[in-house]
Amino acid sequence: MKKEKKEYLKGIFRAEHKNAKVSPKKARDVARAIQGMRVDEAVNVLTFTPRKSARLIKKTLDSALANAVSINDEIEEVNINVESLVVKEAVVNDARTLRRFKPRARGSAGPIRKRQSHISIVITEDSPTDDK
């Protein structure tokens, strides 16, 4: 069986934030906005977006960037230009949902779902594609 090269040797770096305390539906709007952008532009957009999900996605993007810089410094085979990094994909998936119940009229209970999400960001050295 042929072994695959490590992803970082191909210039692909990733970071994940598991069980982020934000609903996936709210976070997906922000994640879609940064896909295909250069990393420095994406950081600027996320810094000035007034949403909680933007803060969490920025934290994950900073982690992926730190992974790229760290691997670039440690491994001689990897030669990347940090300024040319692009957000290849920013995905927000469902995580577990905490179920709570709130008392309602006439002795019944209404469900409350506290949703969480997994934020995954992949950055690569490729240039952005202009399919628009």
Least confident of 14-23, 66-75, 95-104: 66-75
Mean pLDDT of the chain, nearest integer: 89
The answer to whether residue 89 scores a pLDDT higher than 70 is yes
| Phi, psi at 93, each rounded to 5° | -110, 160
The DSSP letter of residue 17 is E
User: Which one is the CATH code of 23-124: 3.40.309.10, 3.10.450.50, 3.90.470.10, 3.40.50.1110?
Assistant: 3.90.470.10
Domain assignments of the chain as residue spans, ordered by start: 23-124
Tell me what the mean pLDDT of segment 107-128 comes to. Answer: 90
pLDDT band (50, 70, 90) for residue 6: confident
pTM across the whole model: 0.85
Contacts for 46-55: CB closer than 8 Å, 24+ residues apart: 51/26, 52/22, 52/26, 53/20, 53/22, 53/26, 53/27, 53/29, 54/30
